[in-house]
Structure formats: C-alpha cells, structure tokens
Structure 1
Amino acid sequence: MRRPFQLNTAASLVAAALGPLALAVPAAAAEPPMDVVVVSGSRIEHASFDLPAAIDVVDARRIRDTQMRVNASEALAAVPGLVAQNRQNYAQDLQISSRGFGARSAFGVRGVKLIADGIPATMPDGQGQAATFNLDMAERMEVLRGPFSAIYGNHAGGTIQLFTRDGKGKPEVETSIAAGSDNARKIDINAQGEAGGIGYLIDTSRFDTDGYRAHSAATRDQAFAKLTLAPSKTSRLTISASALRQDDTQDPLGVTWATYQRDARAGETDASDTQTPRRTLAERYNTRKSIDHKQAGFAFEQRLGDDRLRATLYAGTRQVIQFQAFSRFVQTPATQSGGVVDFDRDFHGADINYVHVRQLGGGKLTTTVGVDAGYSSDERQGYENFIGTQFGLQGALRRDETDRVSSIDPYLQSEWQRDDWVASAGLRHSRMKVDVRDRYLSNGDDSGRVDFRHTTPVVGLLYKASPTLNVYASAARGFEAPTLNELFYSGAGAGFNFQLRPATSTHLETGVKAILGAHTRVNAALFQVKTDDELVVDVATGGRTSYRNAGKTLRQGGELSVDSQLGAGIDARLAVTLLRAIYDQPFGNVAQGSRLPGVPNANLFGELAWTSSSGAFGAAVETIASSKAYAEDANTEIPAPGYAVLNLRAQAKQQSGGWRFKQFVRLNNVSDHKYVGSLIIGDANKRFYEAAPGRNWMAGFSAQYAFQ
C-alpha cells in the first residue's frame, strides 16, 4: 500500500536524498521577506501573500547583478518546484521543468508556458524558447506552479512571466562588459529615459563562448526596444520589439556514460568514421543550428473606473536551419527526411480581456472574461546533410511541407474577497488545430489534420488566519497537447503521428504562507498531480525523437521557501523541493512505480548573502544540490548521480556625480565537482549525458551615466 506524502517528513527525505552533502548547506536570501505584488494567477495586481497558489518572484537584483545575464537558469535556480538546467548547449536552449513537467523536452521548453511583457514566448503548440527572454532589461520574473497554471492554457506544470523595466526619468546610458571561463564574453549597451511623456528603452548585446563541452561554441546577438506612453489619463500603451540571432551555434550532442567518465568535456566518437583518429559525431556531421527570431507587439490598457479593458497583439518570424548527426546511410528510404531541418515560421496572436469589479454579498467580486488566440505557420524543408562523401553540407531535398498550428482559448476567471476569505475560480476552453500539407510525395503523403480540445477548470480558497498567516487550497484540471515536434514522427518512422493524444491531469495543492516576526517569510506547499495519457519518449535515435502515450503517472511532493533578514546586513534564502514522480501504471517494459526520467527526488538552493551598511559592497555563498535522475523510463540505465556544488560571489558599486559603476566576480562549483548537468531523455544510442562545467569563473563591470 502506498503511503501518502507528508510535509513533516521533509527533513528526513532531504537528508536521505542528498546524504551528508545537505548538512553543509547554508541558509539563504537576496530579497527581503516583505510582500510583493504579482499579476500571474489573477491577471490583476495582487499581493502574492493573498493568492491561493504557489508563486515566487525573482527580482532584478537576482537576475541582473553578479550574473552574465545569458541564461534564465542563472536566476531560476532559487525557485522551489523548478529545475532549470543550462545544457551547455546553446543550440538546444535551456531545460526547464516545473514539478516534473517539461523534463523530457529534447530542446527548448515545453510543459511550462513562457511569457514576456504579456507576449507569449511559447508557440500555440506549447513549445517555447527561453533564449528570447531579454535578461539585461528584466525587472522581475514571476514563477507560478500548480493548479492556477491551468488558466494559461495548453501546458501543465507552470508559467514563467518576464517583465522588463520601463524607461523613465532623465536619459541614462549604460555599458556592461563581462568575461568568464571557456572564453565567454558579453558586451551590452542600453539607454533609457522619458521625453514628452514617452518612456523609451533600447538595448543591444553580443555574447560569445567557446563552450565548456567539445564542439559547443556559440555567438548570440540580442536587441530589444520598448516604448511606454499614456494616450489619456486613464490609458496606457506599451510597444515592444525584440530580436535574437545565433549563427552556426555548435551542437555538442549527448555522450554515453563511458565517454562522460573518461572525459566530461569530450564528444562521442563516431565508430563509423574511417579517419585516424576518429572524429566525434558532432565534428563529422558538423552539428549546428542557426536561429533568426524577430517579434513585435503592443499592449493597451484602458481604465473604466474600477474596470479595465486590455488588449495585447503580437507578430513575429523565426527562421531555423539545423544540421543533425544522421544521414540516409543509416535511414531507410521510407523514413528518411534528411539530416538538415530548415523552416521559416510566421506567427501572430492576441489576448483581449475585460476586468469587471463590483460589490457582491458584502465583499468584492473581480471577474475577468477574455479570449487568447495564437497562430503559427511553418514552411518546412528537410535535406540530406551531405554532398558526395562529405557530411555537414546541405544536400538533396527530402522533406517539403507546410505546418500550421492555431489555437483559440476563451476564458473566465473570478475572485471574491470578503473579510478573511478569498475564493477564486476559473474556466478555460483550449482548442488547438494542427494542419499539415505535404508536398514531398515520393515517400507517401503525410498530409492531415488533428484537433485537440479540453476545458480546464480551476478553483482556490484562501483563509487569512491572522495578519501574518494564510492557508489555502486549490485544484484544477490540466491539458497538455502534443507539440509539432512530438507529432512529426511515429515510432515506426512513418510520417506524422496523428494518433498521439493529449495528456490530461488533475492537480491538487494546499499551502501555508506565513510571516514570522518582522524579518522572516515562509511559503510551504504540498501537491499531488495525477496524469492520464502522459506523453513519453517512444524512440530517440539518429537525431530524431518520436513520442507515445503512456498510462497513468503520479506526482506527489512538497515545496518550502524561507526568506529571512538576519541582521548586520545578512540575508538568507532556502528553497527545497521534494518530488515523488512515478509511472502509476505499467506499459511496455516499464514497471509500475518506475521514476519519471529527468526528474530528481529532491532539489535544494541555499544562500547566505551580506551587504554593507552603505550598500557599496556585498558577498554571498550559494549551494545548489540535487538528487539523482534517471535517463529513461525503465530506470535500467545508469542515472545521473546526485550532486551538491558551492558558488561564491562578490560585488561592489560606486557613484560619482552622474556616474554609477558596478563590478562583480563569481566563482562557481568551487570544489571542481564533476557532475551531469542535464539529460537527453530516452536516447536509443544511450547518449543521455550532458556534463556541467567544473570550477568556473566570471567577472563583470558596468558604467552608467545619467544626464542632468
């Protein structure tokens, strides 16, 4: 008989999962325990303390200070319930999972919805790219987990919203320069201010690295611009545009356990290579990806007394060409679509909602009604990745099609507050259509279409037991449709897998939010998620992955975060996640009770930070720890072992007249611990493992001038 998960077992489970390493973890925090205002979960300004949901705010200091601001994982490590991994592979983006959702993603982010300034960084099919986030201009990130994520539609585990700062005040210009291990370097230039009632912000940056792993060099150019203005005293208009460009970003691929043990930085040797010495797969096929992403949008808000009308519109393009590590020599003619992926995407969408506030039953009722729509169209080709006997070149056409995805989601959300009670409820109907028009017919016609639809209700109740103690409970139904990439191949290798079904889930959560004394804040949550038709890896080989529906899965866990001001300029933060994620029904060779791959049982972040009384100097010690994670469903292969690493950082700032200067230095993985940073789930060639860097450093300097 399965015993229920209990929060009071947290200490013993952490100790069991992390062993003696957990004893060395310092306490932690970078932000004060005071309450913060969020918009995630309710779509209106709301004190996070009074929201019946697990939500954390990552502020500008954690995002921008003492970091190179290249990967969102740098800041998200401090959030419980979230696993954010830098794969050391800029061709495949970050690996982010929330309560286990998204851990199987072979590239990019899925299972977690990404939003930047109200504009989705997740496409209508559920696949997102965290690389499009502009961290240089970030004001905060809101991370929502659990049942209330259902109000954002087709995903299951959570929502990450990035908010950039507004241009205001006198004009300012700033230059930042940073450098680090593996010849990493970044330069950023930005300007901001306000003129004639129009706030402006413009930013451009370039990042280069040789990469920690073999064949992992990358160059990333980003640009961002934002205008804010008030057409009237009761309205606000925000216009933004962004661009991301990566040319020939090298893909190091995964490696086997034997290769990782021999040399964590090495690539996997290609056994079929005839050269002496043999080249790695990445070298022989010159695996790489080029990305050119541009988007623009505007958000308009009109206040009508206590009511509000909001409209967000956006559009963009994305071009990708990727060279993978396989060719027709290892494919049959029926399944061959080429080792080169080439697509041009146009996308656009809108979110329009109306917020109505009225008095009802002695309390305040806030109701939001709206519709969220998205559309993307890919002109997709596939080519052989060789010419003659030379690999890594674009060869003959093997695929030619148009892939269209559209979604339209009406939603309704209400919140009623009276005295010490806050009751919330929402309903969203998600409908996603996938339409494929195949023009390469020599291997058959893969044209077709499929519709996915689901209604996701959410309810929550919060009780204010005292001014410093809130307790809550919430529940929801979740919906996770297959992405385009999960539909592309069937296990047999024949065309689109139109038989793939969406996963549906039931989420339950209960939690406590407390303020202890004047200087400590505690958030704790227990949760359970039951999923039917979980989407799992079927076959992953030769650079392509197909998916299938498994049976039932079960996720049970707890999250705890503590922020405290200890005095003498010392702050502390502790974030702990315990998660039991298993297959609750056997399938194939996977036994009931097997762990979900890529999902550790326990994660921990700890930080002890000091700031001088003048604010001119600061230093901190961080600990990040994780238990082991399996690489495939049956749990028979060697898992990525658990680890704990220690990081140190220091910063300083000065001011002289209109000039402000900042410097930082950071030393990560102080003990030079060797560990697997991320996994490629279910790879048929057992090249699961992606090594994290050993001891590494970075340092940065910025100068800002404010015109008088």
Structure 2
Amino acid sequence: MKRHALASSIIAALSAVYAPFALADADANATVPVVVVTASRTEQLSFDLPASIDVIGADRIGAGQPRVNVSEALSAVPGLVVANRQNYAQDLQISSRGFGARSAFGVRGVRLIADGVPATMPDGQGQAATFDLDLAERIEVLRGPFSALYGNHSGGVIQLFTREPKGAPEVELNVSSGSYGSRKTDLNASGSAGGVGYLLDASRFDTDGYRSHSAARRDQAYAKLSFAPSTTSKLTLVAGALNQDDTQDPLGVTWATWQRDPRAGEIDTSDPRTPQRTFAERYNTRKSIDHQQLGATWEQRFGSDRLRVTAYVGNRRVIQYQAFSQAFQAPASHSGGVVDFQRDFHGIDANWTMSRPLLDGTLRSTFGIEAGASDDDRKGYENFVGTQFGVQGRLRRDEKDKVRNLDPYAQFEWERGPWVLSAGLRHSRVDFDVEDRYLSNGNDSGSVSYRHTTPLLGVLYKINPGLNLYASAARGFETPTLNEVFYSGTGGGFNFSLAPAQSTHLEFGVKAMPLEGVRINAAVFQVKTSDELVVDSSSGGRTSYRNASATLRQGGELSLDAEWRRNWNARLALSVLRAVYDEGFGSVLAGSRLPGVPNAGLYGEFGWKDSADRYGAAFETIANTRMYPDDANQAMPAPGYMIANLRVQAQQQLGSWRLKEYARVNNLFDRNYIGSVIVGDSNRRYYEAAPGRNWVLGASMQYRF
C-alpha cells in the first residue's frame, strides 16, 4: 500500500507541475504527429509507445545534402553514433548505445532494414551503403529494449522507408558537386498509371577522396512498383543494385602520422627501395562490390486483421585486396591477402496482426515468423606474384559458408484508459555451417548452432494528453558474425567455441508535448552484457575474437524539437553514455571504457525559413567526447571535438517546374579531428581522419506532367 501511495503521489505531482503547460486536449497534441511502425510492426503514434524511437523525415534527409551517406541524416539522433570513415571500401561505422562500435567494416550489432528487406545478413553483418537515400520518405531509429524483438544483433534498429509511388507522373534530376572531387548525379521518376504506382531511381557518385588513396565510384539503382488488386490488398515489389569497382581503401594510420598529416597514409618502411610508399599504395588496397536484391510484400486486410508477407532474394560479390607486411613468408594457416566471395541470400517474414476488445480495453496482437539464409562461396588468395604486390596470387583458401536463422515471434499491446501494456517474445535459432575445400593446411569444416529466447515487457501511462511516462525491459543477444568465427587465437581454423553475447536492457522515459509545436523525449537506460565479444589477436590481416567478461552501459538521451511562428525551428539531441568493462580480463582492468564509444554526444540545429517556404538556412553543431581505440585504454584516445555546419537552400515554382538549390559548408571553422577509429588494430593504425572545412553545392529540377 505504501508503494502504491508513493507512486500515486509522484504521478500526481508530475501532473500538477506539468498541467499549466499541457495542451488542452488530445487533438491539439496532433500538431506534431509522428507515425511509426518499427517498434510495434503496426502503424502507431510514436508518442504512445513505451520505446525510444526517432523519425528522420524526407526534409531532414535532403536538407542541403547530396544524400550519399546515411550519416548525413542520422547525426541528429540521440544514442546513435554514425561515423563517415572517409573510406567507401569499408562503409560507415554505426553504433547504438555502444552496440556495434567495434565493427572493423560494415555494420554489426545494429539491424538494418529497407522497405521490409533486411540489409543485415543472418549472422548480424550489414551494409548501410545499400540504402537509397534519394527516394527515402523517412528513417525510423529504434533503440533500447524494443529493438531486441528484432532478434540477433539488434542493439538498435534502423529502418528506411521509400516514398509511396502515387500521384501525377513526375521526373526529377539532382546534381551536386563538392570538395575533394565529390560529385553526384541522380535521376528519378515516380507516379501512377493504370492502377500501378512506380518509383524509379538511378545515381552515380564519384569522389577523389579526402584521405590518400580513397577515391571511389558508386553506381546505385532502385525501383519500386505498387499494385492494389482490391480495396483490401496491396502488392509492393522492390529491386535495388549497388556497384563499386576498385574502391580504394586508405587504411588507418598511427597517431604520429595523423598528427603529421591527417590526409596522409601510413608509410611502409619494410621495403627500403620505396621508402615513401604507403601500405595502401604498395598493396593497392581496394574493394569491388556488386550487390543486387529483389523483394516483394503482400498485404491483405480482413476487417481489423491484417496479413503481411515479405520475401526477398539477392546476390553479393566482393573482391578485396588487403595489406599484409609478411607476404613472402605467409604461414601455412594464412588465408592470403585477397578476399573473393560470392553470396546468395534469401528470406521471408510473415506476420498476422489483429485487434480485439479485452477487459474493457483493446488488445492488439502480432504473430509472425522470420527466416533467412546466406550461402558464401569464399576463396582467399595471396596478394602478390613474385615481387609484385596487389595482384591475385596463389589460392590459400576455398570454402562454402552457410548461415541460417529461424525466428518465430509474438507481440502484444493492451490499452485501457491511460494505460498501455506491451509484451513480446521471440525465439531465435542461428546455424553456421562451414565446408572447407582447401585441405592442404587441415580440414576446418564444422558447424555450430546458437539459440536464444528474447522476452520484452513495457508499460506506458498517459498522465494527460501532453505527457506520457514509460518503462521497458528485455533480453537481447549477439552471435559472432561469420567473419568473427573465421580464426581462433591459436592460429588454427574456425573458432566454433565462441559464445553469443547476452544482454539485459532496462529503460525509463518521458515523452512530452508541453506547447504546440514542441516535442520532448527523454530516457535513461542500463544494459548489462555477459560474454561480450572482443578482439583476441590481430596480425597479418587476420583478426580472431574471444568472449570477454561482463560489460555495463548506463546513460541518458534527450531530444527536443520545436517550431514557432512557422518560420523558426530547432533540434537538440543529447546523449550521455558510460560504457565500461564491468569485470577485468587479461590486461584489461575493470572500469576500462569500451573502445569506439564516446562518453557524450551532441547535435544542435537552429533554422529559419520564409513563410512561403522559398528560402531557408540552418546552423548545425555536432560534438563528441574522446574515444579509446583499444580495450585496455592504453593507446592515445581520439580527442573529442565540436564542429559547426552551415546550409542555405532555396526553391522556386515555375508552372510545372520546381527548382531547388542549396549550398552547404561542413566543419565551418576548419577543426582538425579524428572522425572514427579502427578498434583493436595490432599495428596501432587506429585512426581515420575527418575532413577539414569542406563544401557542397547542389541543384534539382523537377517536372510534373
């Protein structure tokens, strides 16, 4: 009784304090409506969900940006660190509340989805480069306990939705150009005719690169078709392609090299004949990517019930040339410096959603099953022939790698009066199977299976129409990715003994709309993880992993959006995170900070536009505290930084033509800083420099028929 009385008193006090600022009724709150689907898998106001979820709309995605990297838009999300490595061979670094920070390439620990099709493979490795930002309508970013219901490697969920193809036909051309030889051309068309909606896009991006040996060309295409056979059914087809040939890899550099010249590569001193040649130049480090995928979603409504089925299939081909310093005397177990694999992947996600009255309230239920598979035909070669480096040499690896997942799940939400109760359960099974076909160094064939059940509980209480309190809890897990089981620390073959990391998530939050046009989200959280996966050893281009001790993540997030007088707007996103090893292991002491994770981050934006929305400008600030690149925190941390960006834009309507122009200056005050770190590099080449002051100009022409 005492606890109940205390809770009632707290709620009453909050309501009394907040009441003078609360909006008069629920309809007034709709001045800032944000509908999401990622947390509950059904359309719902994010304000009424007991989850941390942010939505980046099309205006912000294209706010004076060339729309090349998702980092352009996601810097405005609290709890998320998205680092552009200035290295298109390795993709972005994305972490959510510290999950995914140690990924050496691609994205792990955070699940990526585009139009219902996963950009994350069953083993947990994903590629953000496959996102087509030119057609994006919105990006939903889910963090905390609710993200665990997406299964393996779901420390967070980033889901992109392209716009719906409808309305009169229109054609649009976008061009941009900027510092370091960066330029992009994009052509898209959309509309509907004869009951068929279509959305077509093709783009080319080129850059000479900010860092030495970092030039890239990226060709991307996307298509979306929608059909409505009846008033209760809908079929959506999507197809995407990404091509990058010989994308240069600048590699990381040591602290001394970064201090001497942030744009320089690391000098290879092992060959006295070429004393000024970098590792990247000597080995001509590069990567070629050829990626295609198809997806189909069928949606059928039966009154208040809905069936949704998404199926997809794709292929990815990668050839990568790495830099090894001991090429002439590679050990027998060495897999070579050239990675060559072809991956076929496919999967399905089917779910049934229904709504029923229950105990004077409403129960919304979702039952589903998700299955995925990837098959890699993987080979490795030496990256030298005779005395020439950076060319394909002898075969050193040949195998067939298979990964499968099967995940049934269920989610429930019961709403009655001011209370919203949520629950969920997902059971994940992930199977790895390796067939070794290169037997001169032994047979490393084998298999391993991981299983985990993820429960979720959440509760939200509506104090009044403008103030909600919530709490949620869940269990999550991360299997090793396929690349993380490739080697064991002893120099042997596959490390099938690695255990999955398991985590317990707790979150408490407040969602408020105190004034018309003002929205505030705040959350505090804690995540305890056991068997955290960390680097065991890294040498000769081969990295092995081990299970470490427990880790602890505690932090808070705050986001504020405000608009007033229809001319002014502001955005604030603040993150504070204490991410440490809760227990020591090896040379790592208890209390050491997790590498690649800043203690705090800030995004601020202040903008203006005229009443007719013809002109606009905004000033942005981005700041992060320092980051350690190693588990023991013995290496020099990448220093904290604060940069400022400025953008201006304009648009005109001339009959059927709509014209847009923008100009952007990033790092306005020309700060010298490290944008990202390579965690655990044995050669201490941890650091990847970010550009100084740089600019981009862009324009678009759209014609509506």
Tell me what 1:228 maps to: 226
Contact 1:172 1:705 in 2 (8 A): yes
5 Å matches for 1:12-91?
34-91=32-89
Tell me what 1:369 maps to: 367
Tell me what 1:214 maps to: 212
Name the SS of the counterpart of 2:513 in structure 1: strand
Q: Following the alignment from structure 2 to structure 1, what is the Cα–Cα distance between the partners of residues 169 and 424? A: 43
Tell me what 1:181 maps to: 179
Tell me what 1:274 maps to: 272
Name the SS of the counterpart of 2:180 in structure 1: coil
Tell me what 1:27 maps to: none
Cα 1:541/1:225, change in 2 over 3 Å: same
Tell me what 2:8 maps to: none
Contact 1:327 1:338 in 2 (8 A): no
Name the SS of the counterpart of 1:231 in structure 2: strand
Q: Of the candidates 475, 478, 497, which is equivalent to residue 477 of structure 1? A: 475
Tell me what 1:625 maps to: 623
Structure 1 residue 523 corresponds to structure 2 residue 483: no
Tell me what 1:358 maps to: 356
After superposition, what is the alpha-carbon deviation per residue over 1:241-289, rounded to whole angstroms, capped at 9, x for unaligned?
Answer: 0000000000000000000000000000001123344200000000000
Name the SS of the counterpart of 1:136 in structure 2: helix
585-594 vs 567-576, which deviates more? 567-576
Q: Following the alignment from structure 1 to structure 2, what is the Cα–Cα distance between the partners of residues 503 and 331? A: 36
Instruction: After TM superposition, give the deviation of residue 402 of structure 1 in Å.
Output: 0.2
Cα 1:388/1:301, change in 2 over 3 Å: same
Instruction: After TM superposition, give the deviation of residue 566 of structure 1 in Å.
Output: 3.5
Q: Following the alignment from structure 2 to structure 1, what is the Cα–Cα distance between the partners of residues 326 and 266? A: 20
Name the SS of the counterpart of 1:166 in structure 2: coil
- Aligned CA RMSD, in angstroms, stands at 1.0
Structure 1 residue 429 corresponds to structure 2 residue 431: no
Structure 1 residue 590 corresponds to structure 2 residue 594: no
Q: Following the alignment from structure 2 to structure 1, what is the Cα–Cα distance between the partners of residues 524 and 452? A: 26
Contact 1:221 1:246 in 2 (8 A): yes
Instruction: After TM superposition, give the deviation of residue 333 of structure 1 in Å.
Output: 2.4
Letter in 1 for 2:675: G
Q: Following the alignment from structure 2 to structure 1, what is the Cα–Cα distance between the partners of residues 137 and 274? A: 52
Tell me what 1:349 maps to: 347
Letter in 2 for 1:476: A
Contact 1:660 1:705 in 2 (8 A): yes
Structure 1 residue 635 corresponds to structure 2 residue 633: yes
After superposition, what is the alpha-carbon deviation per residue over 1:296-351, rounded to whole angstroms, capped at 9, x for unaligned?
Answer: 01001000000000100000000000000016536642321100000000000000
Tell me what 1:133 maps to: 131
Tell me what 1:486 maps to: 484
Q: Following the alignment from structure 1 to structure 2, what is the Cα–Cα distance between the partners of residues 652 and 543? A: 48
After superposition, what is the alpha-carbon deviation per residue over 1:208-227, rounded to whole angstroms, capped at 9, x for unaligned?
Answer: 00000000000000000000
Contact 2:327 2:383 in 1 (8 A): no
Instruction: After TM superposition, give the deviation of residue 538 of structure 1 in Å.
Output: 1.4
Letter in 2 for 1:691: A
Residues paired across the two proteins, number:
676
Contact 1:327 1:385 in 2 (8 A): no
Q: Of the candidates 102, 105, 115, which is equivalent to residue 104 of structure 1? A: 102
Name the SS of the counterpart of 1:394 in structure 2: coil
Q: Following the alignment from structure 1 to structure 2, what is the Cα–Cα distance between the partners of residues 163 and 285? A: 39
Q: Following the alignment from structure 2 to structure 1, what is the Cα–Cα distance between the partners of residues 330 and 174? A: 51
TM-score by length of 2: 0.95
Structure 1 residue 605 corresponds to structure 2 residue 608: no
Q: Following the alignment from structure 2 to structure 1, what is the Cα–Cα distance between the partners of residues 567 and 684? A: 49
Tell me what 2:20 maps to: none
Tell me what 1:550 maps to: 548
Q: Of the candidates 318, 332, 335, which is equivalent to residue 333 of structure 2? A: 335
Tell me what 1:538 maps to: 536
Q: Following the alignment from structure 1 to structure 2, what is the Cα–Cα distance between the partners of residues 93 and 486? A: 18
Letter in 2 for 1:168: K
Contact 1:377 1:403 in 2 (8 A): yes
Letter in 2 for 1:654: Q
Tell me what 2:559 maps to: 561
Contact 1:328 1:338 in 2 (8 A): no
Q: Following the alignment from structure 1 to structure 2, what is the Cα–Cα distance between the partners of residues 493 and 574? A: 48
Contact 2:410 2:425 in 1 (8 A): yes
Q: Following the alignment from structure 2 to structure 1, what is the Cα–Cα distance between the partners of residues 514 and 538? A: 50
Letter in 2 for 1:509: E
Name the SS of the counterpart of 2:47 in structure 1: helix
Tell me what 1:616 maps to: 614
Name the SS of the counterpart of 1:182 in structure 2: helix
Contact 1:328 1:384 in 2 (8 A): no
Tell me what 1:465 maps to: 463
Name the SS of the counterpart of 1:151 in structure 2: helix
TM-score by length of 1: 0.95
After superposition, what is the alpha-carbon deviation per residue over 1:337-385, rounded to whole angstroms, capped at 9, x for unaligned?
Answer: 1000000000000000111211000111011111000000000000000
After superposition, what is the alpha-carbon deviation per residue over 1:70-124, rounded to whole angstroms, capped at 9, x for unaligned?
Answer: 1000000000000000000000000000000000000000000000000100000
Q: Following the alignment from structure 1 to structure 2, what is the Cα–Cα distance between the partners of residues 659 and 352? A: 42
Letter in 1 for 2:619: V
Tell me what 1:655 maps to: 653
Name the SS of the counterpart of 2:558 in structure 1: strand
Contact 1:327 1:339 in 2 (8 A): no
Contact 1:33 1:564 in 2 (8 A): no
Cα 1:330/1:211, change in 2 over 3 Å: same
Contact 1:259 1:268 in 2 (8 A): yes
Structure 1 residue 571 corresponds to structure 2 residue 577: no
After superposition, what is the alpha-carbon deviation per residue over 1:451-497, rounded to whole angstroms, capped at 9, x for unaligned?
Answer: 01100001100000000000000000001011001111112221111
Tell me what 2:437 maps to: 439
Q: Of the candidates 372, 380, 383, which is equivalent to residue 382 of structure 1? A: 380
Cα 1:561/1:33, change in 2 over 3 Å: farther
Contact 1:478 1:506 in 2 (8 A): yes
Name the SS of the counterpart of 2:230 in structure 1: coil
Tell me what 1:686 maps to: 684
Cα 1:201/1:328, change in 2 over 3 Å: same
Contact 1:114 1:130 in 2 (8 A): yes
After superposition, what is the alpha-carbon deviation per residue over 1:36-94, rounded to whole angstroms, capped at 9, x for unaligned?
Answer: 00001100001000000000000001112310101000000000000000000000000
636-645 vs 331-340, which deviates more? 331-340
Q: Following the alignment from structure 1 to structure 2, what is the Cα–Cα distance between the partners of residues 286 and 332? A: 18
Q: Following the alignment from structure 1 to structure 2, what is the Cα–Cα distance between the partners of residues 446 and 183? A: 46
Q: Following the alignment from structure 1 to structure 2, what is the Cα–Cα distance between the partners of residues 544 and 655? A: 56
Q: Following the alignment from structure 1 to structure 2, what is the Cα–Cα distance between the partners of residues 584 and 618? A: 48
Q: Which runs of 5+ in 2 are unaligned?
A: 1-29
Instruction: After TM superposition, give the deviation of residue 543 of structure 1 in Å.
Output: 2.5
Contact 2:206 2:218 in 1 (8 A): yes
Q: Following the alignment from structure 2 to structure 1, what is the Cα–Cα distance between the partners of residues 522 and 72? A: 23
5 Å matches for 1:284-295?
284-295=282-293
Letter in 1 for 2:350: I
Using CA pairs below 8 Å that are at least 6 residues apart, which structure has the higher relative contact order? Answer: 1
Contact 1:578 1:602 in 2 (8 A): yes
Q: Following the alignment from structure 2 to structure 1, what is the Cα–Cα distance between the partners of residues 691 and 63? A: 21
Q: Following the alignment from structure 2 to structure 1, what is the Cα–Cα distance between the partners of residues 89 and 274? A: 28
